[in-house]
Structure formats: structure tokens, C-alpha cells
């Protein structure tokens, strides 16, 4: 039984609502704020990261054009490189004119790279699908970030929860697939990222505890997650009210 002074709320979040919640929390992490004030910050490609970019920049970012690889229309796809937006690269909060790859070369302790994922497991591993045969963004950034002790943050919704990312990666590979719905992919495992799911987001923003209690739905709630929130009355009410305020967040669409 819960103590009498603990309140509980149940919220259902569709994928885009989860992306907004997670992005809101990521932009308010102390390490992100610090990097924006006096360090370096890069936001890698991804639809959730487009929402992160919006929260950081305070302006609209095209969700489709900010993605590189996508799962859309029942297929594994790669967005048009000619129309794809460049990753956000900021030094002390200002756009870095020479782009993210050059900024990455300057990375050190306290700098932040935000990389979305396609899978997350209960052990805290993040999986990133790789459509590029040289590893894409992960192939370019991971060695530098890991070697220099920079901060790697992975915003990833619980709709992407899988049993075991490490095992999943063993069954991927561009050259290893004989047939595929769309573009064959490999998978990189990121074992040391700070993961921000809906659960961490509610804790960061409202100081509540949250549990993932159900997944899926129909009639517009496909991919939804149901979250139980517990805490003091005012904190739970604040979390619930916020969830209601982002209800109906526009789904990610082509274009």
C-alpha cells in the first residue's frame, strides 16, 4: 500500500507527446545547461532530437528533415541527404560556423553530444541502427566522446524498449541481411549514455517517480506508453497537467 500522503496519476503518451516530454527534460539537464553556457553541445540527427533542438533553440525544427534514418511506412528508410538539416552545433550557446564535425574535434570534459536511439533495454544499453556502411554519426563521434570523457545523452522513448540491445546487435549488419523491408542496417550499442526516457523526464521536471506500466493502443494510440506517476500532491498534479498540455502533439510526418 502507498502512504496516505503519496498521490498517483496515470498518463497515456503517444509517441510525439513522449518526444516533447523527453526533449523538454533534456534541455533542462544541468549538464546541457552548463554546455550551453560555457561549453560545446551537438544535437545529432533524429526525430526526438528535432524536438530537443526546438526546446534548446526556441524555434521550430523540421522533424523529418532532421532525421537521417527512419522507420516509416513499414520500411527502414534513409531521408534525402540533399534536404537533410545539419546537426545543431553550439559553442557557448552560439551556432558554430564550421559545423558539428569541426566542433567535435574540440570536445573535452563537460561537453555534450545528444544522440537519439532506435532501441533501449532494461540494462541501460541504447541501440542505434546504422544505414551507413561506415557507421554514420556514431562512427564519427563515439570514439572521441568516449575517449575524452565528454557527456553522451540519449533521449529515447519507451516505445523503443526491447529485451536486449546487445543481443539485437548480433543479428544486424548491412551485409548480413539477405532480404529486408527497405534499407538493411547494422546496429551500434551505446552502453554508457545517460538515457532519458519518459520516466527520467518526469523525475527531472517534477521530482516524481514514474513507472512504465503498459504499451500500445489502437485508434490513434498505436505506439503509446502508459505511465504511473507517484509523488507529493503538487508534484503529481504538475506532472499530470503538463502531460495534458502536450496532448495532441503533432505526429512526425514526411516533408
Q: 228-248 pLDDT, tens per residue?
A: 999 999 999 999 999 999 999
Q: Is residue 147 part of a domain?
A: yes
3-state helix, strand, coil in the chain (%, to 5): 35, 25, 40
**What mean pLDDT comes out for the span 147-163?**
98
Residue 48 has pLDDT above 60, yes or no: yes
Distance between CA 36 and CA 181 in Å, rounded?
40
Tens digits of residue pLDDT in 102-154: 999 999 999 999 999 999 999 999 999 999 999 999 999 999 999 999 999 99
- Give me 172's grid cell: 544486424
**CA 107 and chain centroid, separation:** 21
**Which CATH number covers residue 106?**
3.40.50
Range of the domain at 179: 18-196
Distance between CA 116 and CA 127 in Å, rounded?
9
Q: Is residue 224 part of a domain?
A: no
Q: Is residue 214 part of a domain?
A: no
Q: Is residue 165 part of a domain?
A: yes
**What mean pLDDT comes out for the span 196-215?**
98
Q: Is residue 29 part of a domain?
A: yes
The per-residue pLDDT for 21 is 98
Helix or strand holding residue 244 (H, E): helix 233-245
The per-residue pLDDT for 5 is 78
Helix or strand holding residue 128 (H, E): strand 126-130
The per-residue pLDDT for 2 is 59
Tens digits of residue pLDDT in 78-95: 999 999 999 999 999 999
The per-residue pLDDT for 4 is 64
Q: Is residue 47 part of a domain?
A: yes
Q: Residue 55 CB: number of other CB atoms within 10 A?
A: 18
Q: Is residue 225 part of a domain?
A: no
Helix or strand holding residue 199 (H, E): helix 198-206
The per-residue pLDDT for 1 is 42
- Give me 240's grid cell: 499530470
Edge to edge, what strands does the sheet with 209-215 contain? 7-13, 225-231, 209-215
Percent residues over pLDDT 90 in the chain: 96
Distance between CA 45 and CA 113 in Å, rounded?
11
The per-residue pLDDT for 3 is 67
Tens digits of residue pLDDT in 4-21: 678 999 999 999 999 999
Q: Is residue 153 part of a domain?
A: yes
Domain count, the chain: 1
**What mean pLDDT comes out for the span 37-49?**
98
Nearest to 158 by CA among 41, 17, 40, 49: 17
Amino acid at each position: 500500500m502507498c502512504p496516505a500522503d503519496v498521490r498517483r496519476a496515470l498518463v497515456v503518451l503517444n509517441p510525439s507527446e513522449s518526444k516533447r516530454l523527453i526533449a523538454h527534460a533534456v534541455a533542462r539537464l544541468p549538464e546541457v545547461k552548463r554546455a550551453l553556457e560555457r561549453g560545446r553541445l551537438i544535437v545529432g540527427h533524429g526525430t526526438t532530437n528535432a524536438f530537443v533542438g526546438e526546446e534548446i533553440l526556441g524555434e521550430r525544427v523540421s522533424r523529418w528533415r532532421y532525421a537521417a534514418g527512419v522507420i516509416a511506412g513499414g520500411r527502414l528508410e534513409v531521408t534525402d541527404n540533399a534536404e537533410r538539416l545539419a546537426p545543431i552545433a553550439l559553442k557557448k550557446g552560439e551556432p558554430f560556423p564550421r559545423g558539428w564535425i569541426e566542433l567535435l574535434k574540440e570536445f573535452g570534459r563537460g561537453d555534450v553530444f545528444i544522440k537519439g536511439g532506435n532501441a533501449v533495454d532494461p540494462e541501460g544499453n541504447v541501440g542505434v541502427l546504422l544505414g551507413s556502411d561506415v557507421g554514420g554519426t556514431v562512427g564519427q563521434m563515439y570514439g572521441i566522446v568516449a575517449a575524452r570523457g565528454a557527456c553522451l545523452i540519449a533521449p529515447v522513448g519507451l516505445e523503443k524498449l526491447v529485451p536486449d540491445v546487445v543481443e539485437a546487435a548480433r543479428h544486424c549488419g548491412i551485409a548480413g541481411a539477405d532480404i529486408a523491408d527497405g534499407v538493411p542496417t547494422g546496429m551500434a550499442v551505446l552502453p554508457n549514455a545517460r538515457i532519458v526516457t519518459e520516466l527520467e523526464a518526469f523525475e527531472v521536471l517534477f521530482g516524481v517517480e514514474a513507472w512504465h506500466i503498459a504499451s500500445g493502443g489502437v485508434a490513434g494510440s498505436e505506439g503509446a506508453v502508459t505511465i504511473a506517476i507517484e509523488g507529493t500532491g503538487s508534484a503529481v498534479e504538475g506532472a499530470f497537467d503538463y502531460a495534458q498540455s502536450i496532448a495532441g502533439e503533432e505526429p512526425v510526418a514526411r516533408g
